[in-house]
Amino acid sequence: MCTAIFIMKNHFLTLIIAASVGYLGGVSSQLFVSSPEENQSSDVFINNTGELTETNSSTELQLELLKYKVEQLEAQLETLSQQSSGAENSSSTSSAKNTSKATPRYARAVQPNEENLVAAGVSHDIAKDILQRISQQEYRRLELQNLVRRSQGTEAQQYRNELRELNQDKISLRNELGDQAYDQYLFSSGQNNRVKVSSVMSGSPAESSGFENNDIIVSYDNLSILDWSDIRRATLDGEIGSYTTVEILRNGERMSLMVPRGTLGVKLEPVQVDPAE
């Protein structure tokens, strides 16, 4: 079972790379081979199945939606990774043992529901309001995708613009709840809410700052770290070479490490940890 899933993951990675390279190659060929008029008349939008469809649009919109497609493929790859981890954990009891109290490495994202929100301390009224607005936004997104396909010219472009704005202003449960409540929501609903250091790169700032395998990163420069993208954004801020504080959880104890801003030099994996720790 593990071997089969491993092969699937490799094939899926190949598909992601092939899709990305092929698509970018198509865009670049348009830039260098097509006439200026042709370069200004290409368009891409997301259809009702979540796939990208080419019609006539700008290169900027093509690249923006290519990024969306890659993110979708990465999410599917994450699902395969979760399935692989589950198979490994069921076949070996030793793989389920961790140095911290973290639960299995991969926990699937779940659709927000009132029960999980209330369990995280959100009132019923607020939970219902958030879920209603998320549902309305999802419906409008599907409606706009349909209207884009049915329309032409200026009218279609107006729908595309609205769809793009809607995607950029997607309701964020984290923003709605705040970091503390969102952290509790992730934990109470069985989702990953921390990242753990799986390895420290030799000669990296992380190594010289004292990071160790299995360290769980709690915050970076006083910013809560709930997933790997938080670290990615945090390390892009500030002046390279200046120092900041990273709070970690090591063997159940909190510690602070001073690190230089910029590339940290660690490999991370998602884990689930009780926010109270």
pLDDT tens digits, 203-247: 999 999 999 999 999 999 999 999 999 999 999 999 988 999 999
* Residue 20 in domain: yes
Q: Which residues contact 224 (CB under 8 A, 6 or more apart)?
A: 179, 180, 183, 218, 230
Q: Which residues contact 19 (CB under 8 A, 6 or more apart)?
A: 69, 70, 73
Q: Which amino acid is at 187?
A: F
Residues 130-176 have pLDDT tens digits of 999 999 999 999 999 999 999 999 999 999 999 999 999 999 999 99
pLDDT at 87: 39
Looking at every residue in the chain, the average pLDDT score rounds to 75
- Range of the structural domain that residue 81 is part of: 1-97
**DSSP codes of every residue in 158-225:** HHHHHHHHHHHTPPPHHHHH-HHHHHHHHHHTT---EEEEEEE-TTSHHHHHT--TTPEEEEETTEE-
pLDDT of residue 66: 65
Q: Looking at the domain assignment, is residue 1 inside a domain?
A: yes
Is residue 239 assigned to a domain?
yes
Q: Last residue of a domain, which of 65, 97, 129?
A: 97
- H helix or E strand, kind and range, residue 15: helix 2-33
Among the candidates 71, 97, 123, a domain finishes at 97
Determine how many CB atoms are found less than 10 A away from the CB of residue 260.
18
The rounded distance, in Å, linking the Cα atoms of 89 and 83 is 10
Last residue of a domain, one of 80, 97, 114: 97
**pLDDT attached to residue 84:** 44
Residue 270, number of CB atoms within 10 A of its CB: 21
Q: Report yes or no on 156 lying in a domain.
A: no
pTM of structure:
0.60
Residue 172 to residues 2, 137, 169: CA-CA distances in angstroms? 35, 11, 8
Residue 189 lies in a domain: no
E-strand stretches of 47-119: 52-57
Hey, is 133 helix, strand or coil? helix
Q: 73: buried, middle or exposed (CB in 10 Å: 19+, 13-18, 0-12)?
A: middle
Q: How many CA atoms are closer than 13 Å to the CA of 78, on its beta-carbon side?
A: 15
| pLDDT for 59 | 57
Confidence band, pLDDT 50/70/90 cuts, at residue 110: confident
CATH of the domain at 250: 2.30.42.10
pLDDT 10s digits, 91-109: 333 333 343 444 444 556 6
Contact between 80 and 9 (Cβ < 8 Å): yes
Helix (H, G, I), strand (E, B) or coil at 90: helix
CB 74 within 8 A of CB 16: yes
Structure-model confidence comparison of residues 78 and 163, the more confident one: 163
H-state helical runs in 34-123: 36-39, 59-91, 114-119
How much of the chain, in percent, has pLDDT values that exceed 90? Answer: 56
pLDDT (0 to 100) of residue 276: 87
Instruction: Write out pLDDT tens, residues 2-28.
Output: 444 444 555 555 555 555 545 444 444
The number of domains in the chain is 2
CA distances from 86 to 2, 104, 239 (A): 9, 8, 41
With cut-offs at 50, 70 and 90, classify the pLDDT of residue 74: low
User: Is residue 207, in this structure, part of any structural domain at all?
Assistant: yes
Q: What are phi and psi of 177, to 5 degrees?
A: -90, -30
Pairwise CA distance, residues 15 & 250, whole Å: 38
User: What's the pLDDT tens digit per position in 41-73?
Assistant: 334 444 444 444 444 444 555 565 666 566 556
Secondary structure element (H or E) that encloses residue 131, with its range: helix 124-150
pLDDT grade for 177, boundaries at 50, 70 and 90: very high
What is d(CA 219, CA 155) in angstroms, rounded to the nearest whole number?
Answer: 46
